[in-house]
Chains A and B, each alone.
Chain A
């Protein structure tokens, strides 16, 4: 078991003929992900690295039985790509594209809900169930199969932490990069609930950052609903207010969204917060 993806996941790549789409298709395939098709309107019938290309998601799903999609199309078209996948009945959509306008994300939200589509991202590195399935741009070789779940708003910081966990012998069940935007798909609480119900996950690492109050909500959820231990880290403790720290969602506005408030909320929920990333493996070991 694991969450969201496993060896039975059949993936299609939207934007497979683009530079990033093509490159990461090969990487994902090499990792062992079952990529059944790609989408590139007008290029149907061709192939990329042996993966058949279709004109529409609908056609690809019909032909291949795909149940997951990863999106590499440029930002102006990402919202539409998400909608196309959702209307084609794809269960899980992972949007890697960054700089997607917020209003495009808000427009897709009610459609996803109506169609029962799960979205990860946008502006995210993707997710992985080690040894079974990798979707996105994560460097597969640093991950190791195990019992620690991980959720993060960041990319490289996630790799940093995963690398430390792996080096300390702490393997991972599923790691999910939920993305750095203000309006995204699945978020902390959705995933914490999945980890709580996943027999293979025994502890969860949550990597949050400044901006919004999702960490505070997560803390409340952990306190009330979770039996499994959670260890947290918050990036951006030294960030100045009003400035967007790279991620569109990482901004402290009018005194809310600060790291202090988030750390406090976790402390109140008995969730240890690492002061620096290299404390995380130790804290996880203590809790296991």
Chain B
């Protein structure tokens, strides 16, 4: 789960990480109301779940409230990577002497949280990682001990020469780790962390993502969730025990199991088609699940054909076939459907489908080819 920059900043503040003052505004009127009428230099920033806001023109400086209003007018409603900007943050601009990057991330390889830091702040860290990986300091954190003070100092020492600044930075690292663990975060970045001319260390921009599996114990984080239309569908599907991701193609897929679902999408692509979605219905023959899945699939108007690919394991194919027939009876659609059942009791399952009057195919590749052919009719 993603949150906005202003929400990340609120969390930073709650955990004692210094950030410049700022307000979030949903409209030009709110900017007029909430930003003090003075000539302070401020920055108006689009709040969307996407990177590269600056490049897209979603970050602008303003020398007065009047100018902040102007800039907010330009930014609100702007499209950044397919997302409409619905709010802006107006924050005090800060003089910067030097910029740094610090971040925490779950590292699959070390199976621990890894702290990353770099004196190359303000730029995309992925770029630094590619071009000059030696400029990134990495430290694995023992989950039983957490980030120890000496470790934080060790990293901060590589960024700051001055002991006072080093201590400010080390304290920020420890607080960021506490926040990370307390909120089941999967990514927490301060980019840039800055040194001001008056030698204060501040977090200017923040980004945080959270582990979806842990949201059940993070009610405060869950409250910050904002979803667009596609994500809404995905979350609805999740609540019905389905895993759904909308894509742009024309062939709807319904599969049991995530790996097989991915392989099915690949197969469609391999034979020149385009999958309309990823959809894993899990391991049950429950007709209701199939009905729910079909309804989600068919709500996508791009879908021209549906490919159902089921491997019967413990759930037998004849049970799945019965579920499918019940579901199809209820749905009644003109969209052509190709069904492939394999595994336990596949023959019995196929017989049920054939009797119902729908074609079945034996292999995944046949099913993909057939679905592509039907989608073009």
Counting chain B CB atoms within 10 Å of each CB, which of A235, A246, A247 scores highest?
A246
Q: Which residue of A lies closest to B273 (CB)?
A: A238
B11 contacts chain A at the CB level, 8 A cutoff: no
Bound together, the chains give a CA A109 to CA B143 distance in angstroms of 9
Known: A159-B343, A160-B311, A183-B106. A110 touches B263 (CB 8 A): no
Please list the 7 inter-chain residue pairs (A to B) with the smallest Cβ-Cβ separation, ordered nearest first.
A154-B259, A156-B257, A246-B258, A157-B259, A139-B313, A101-B214, A235-B262
Contact, CB under 8 Å: B280 / A246? yes
Name, among B243, B262, B266, B342, the residue most crowded by chain A CB atoms within 10 Å (CB to CB): B262
A243 to B143, CA, bound (A): 27
Q: In the complex, what distance in Å separates the CA atom of A213 from the CA atom of B108?
A: 9
Contact present for B265 and A153 (CB under 8 Å) = no
Interface of B is mostly: mixed
Q: Taking the complex as formed, is B268 at the interface, i.e. its CB lies under 8 A from any CB of chain A?
A: yes
* Nearest CB on A from B317, distance (A): 11
Complex contacts, B311 vs chain A, CB 8 Å: 156, 159-160, 163
- Docked pose: A278 CA to B269 CA in angstroms: 16
With A157-B263, A180-B259 as given contacts, are A76 and B344 in contact (CB-CB < 8 Å)? no
* Residues of A close to B83: CB separation below 8 A: none
Q: Does B323 contact A (CB under 8 A)?
A: no
In the complex, A179 Cα to B218 Cα: how many Å? 25
Complex contact B263–A244 (CB within 8 A): no
> B: which residues have CB within 8 A of A?
106, 108-109, 111-113, 126, 142-144, 181, 184, 186, 211-214, 216-217, 243, 245, 247, 255-263, 265-270, 275, 278, 280, 283, 311-314, 342-344, 363-365
Are A160 and B260 in contact, with the CB atoms below 8 A?
yes
B112–A276 touching, CB < 8 Å: no
Contact B111 A239 (CB under 8 A): no
Chain A, Cβ-Cβ closest to B145: A110
Q: How far is the CA of A76 from the CA of B214 in the complex (A)?
A: 8
A137 and B278 within 8 A (CB): no
Decide if A254 touches B126 in the complex (CB within 8 Å): yes
- In the complex with contacts A107-B143, A243-B245, A255-B126, A209-B111 CB distance below 8 A: no
- The verdict on A225 contacting chain B, using a C-beta distance below 8 Å, is no
Q: Report if A264 contacts B (CB, 8 A).
A: no
Contact A247 B259, CB 8 Å, known A102-B186, A163-B342: yes
Interface centre among A111, A141, A163 (most CB of B within 10 A): A163
Among B111, B265, B275, B278: residue with most chain A CB under 10 A: B111
Contact B314 A238 (CB under 8 A): no
B243 touches A101 (CB 8 A): no
B266 interface neighbour in A156, A237, A246, Cβ under 8 Å? A237
Residues of A within 8 A of B (CB): 27, 75-76, 99-107, 109-111, 137-139, 141-142, 152-160, 163, 180, 182-183, 207, 209-210, 212-214, 217, 233, 235-240, 243-250, 254-255, 259, 275-278
Q: List 16 A-B contacts (CB under 8 A).
A: A75-B213, A101-B211, A102-B214, A103-B214, A110-B144, A152-B259, A155-B257, A159-B313, A160-B311, A163-B343, A212-B108, A235-B263, A237-B269, A248-B212, A259-B266, A278-B363
Q: How many angstroms between the C-alpha atoms of A274 and B263 in the bound complex? A: 11
Q: From A111, A156, A182, A254, give the contact of B108 (CB < 8 A).
A: A182
Q: Which residue on chain B has the smallest CB distance to residue A99?
A: B213
Q: Which of A139, A159, A238 lies at the interface centre, i.e. has the most chain B CB atoms within 10 A of its CB?
A: A238
Q: Are B106 and A245 in contact (CB under 8 A)?
A: no
Question: Does the CB pair A103–B211 fall under 8 Å?
Answer: yes
**Set B109, B263, B344: member contacting A277, Cβ < 8 A:** B263
A200 to B: closest C-beta gap in Å: 24
Interface centre among B213, B260, B344 (most CB of A within 10 A): B213
Which residue of chain B has its CB nearest to the CB of A233? B263
Chain B, residue nearest A111 (CB): B144
Once bound together, how far apart are the Cα atoms of A110 and B142, in whole Å?
Answer: 8
Contact across chains for B344 and A139 when beta carbons are under 8 A apart: yes
**Bound: A110/B259 CA distance, A:** 29
Given contacts A106-B143, A138-B313, A276-B364, contact A250 B262 (CB under 8 A): yes
CA distance A183 to B311 in the complex (A): 27
B111–A105 touching, CB < 8 Å: yes
B297 CB to nearest chain A CB (Å): 15
CA distance A248 to B215 in the complex (A): 14
B262 with A210: CB separation less than 8 A: yes
Q: Contacts A103-B181, A106-B106, A238-B275; is A245 near B126 (CB within 8 Å)? A: no
What residues of B have a CB within 8 angstroms of the CB of A139 in the complex?
Answer: 312-314, 343-344
Q: Which residues of A contact B213 (CB under 8 A)?
A: 75, 99-102, 248
Set of chain A residues within 8 Å of B314, measured between Cβ atoms? 27, 137, 139
Q: Do A245 and B245 touch across chains, with their CB atoms under 8 A apart?
A: yes
Chain A min CB distance to B143 (Å): 5
CB closest chain-A residue, reference B314: A139
Known contacts A106-B112, A154-B257, A160-B311; A246/B270 CB under 8 A: no
**Cβ of A137: which chain B residues have Cβ within 8 Å of it?**
283, 313-314
**Residue B344 contacts which of A105, A141, A240, A275 (CB distance < 8 angstroms)?**
A141
Please name all residues of chain A whose beta carbon is closer than 8 Å to the beta carbon of B211 when the two chains form the complex: 101-103
- Complex CA–CA separation, A235 to B363 (angstroms): 17
Chain B residues within 8 Å of A238, by CB? 262, 265-266, 268-269, 275
Most chain A CB within a 10 A radius of its CB, from B181, B313, B343: B313
